[in-house]
C-alpha cells in the first residue's frame, strides 16, 4: 500500500511538472536563468517518461526502480543547478523532497 501511494504521488507530481516544463511559459524563463535553455524539452520529456515508468513500476518493479532512480538523479542535478546559481534554500525544497521520495521508491521497488 505504501509503495502504491508513494508511486502515485511521484507519478502525478512528475506528470504535472513535466507537462508544465514542456508547455507553460514560466519554465522557459527558469531554464534561461539556469543557463540551460536547450535542456527544457529534454527535461520535461524525461519527467513525463519517468512518471509513466514509476506508475508502471507498480506492476513491473524493475521498471519502477529504474524510473525512480532516473528521477532521483534528475532532482539531485536540479538541486546542483539551483545551488550553482545561488537560489534560496526554500526554492530547493520541491526538488529535494522529490529526490527523497524517489530514492525511497527505489528501495521499495527493489524490496518487492
pTM of the model: 0.94
Angle at 92 between CA 24 and CA 1, to 5 degrees: 85
Q: Which of 97, 109, 96, 95 is nearest to 66 (CA)?
A: 109
- The list of the chain residues with pLDDT below 70 reads none
Predicted pLDDT at 17: 96
Predicted pLDDT at 86: 95
Predicted pLDDT at 110: 98
Q: How many domains does the chain have?
A: 1
Using alpha carbons, list the distances in angstroms from residue 24 to 31, 57, 60. Answer: 12, 28, 32
CA distance 68 to 51: 8
CB 52 within 8 A of CB 64: no
Predicted pLDDT at 87: 94
Domain encompassing residue 72? 2-111
Amino acid at each position: 500500500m505504501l509503495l502504491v501511494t508513494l508511486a502515485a504521488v511521484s507519478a502525478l507530481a512528475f506528470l504535472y511538472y513535466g507537462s508544465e516544463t514542456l508547455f507553460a511559459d514560466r519554465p522557459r524563463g527558469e531554464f534561461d536563468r539556469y543557463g540551460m535553455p536547450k535542456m527544457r524539452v529534454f527535461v520535461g520529456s524525461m519527467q513525463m517518461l519517468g512518471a509513466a515508468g514509476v506508475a508502471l513500476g507498480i506492476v513491473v518493479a524493475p521498471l519502477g526502480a529504474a524510473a525512480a532512480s532516473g528521477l532521483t538523479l534528475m532532482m539531485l542535478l536540479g538541486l546542483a543547478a539551483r545551488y550553482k546559481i545561488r537560489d534560496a534554500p526554500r526554492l530547493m525544497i520541491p526538488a529535494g523532497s522529490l529526490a527523497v521520495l524517489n530514492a525511497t521508491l527505489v528501495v521499495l521497488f527493489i524490496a518487492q
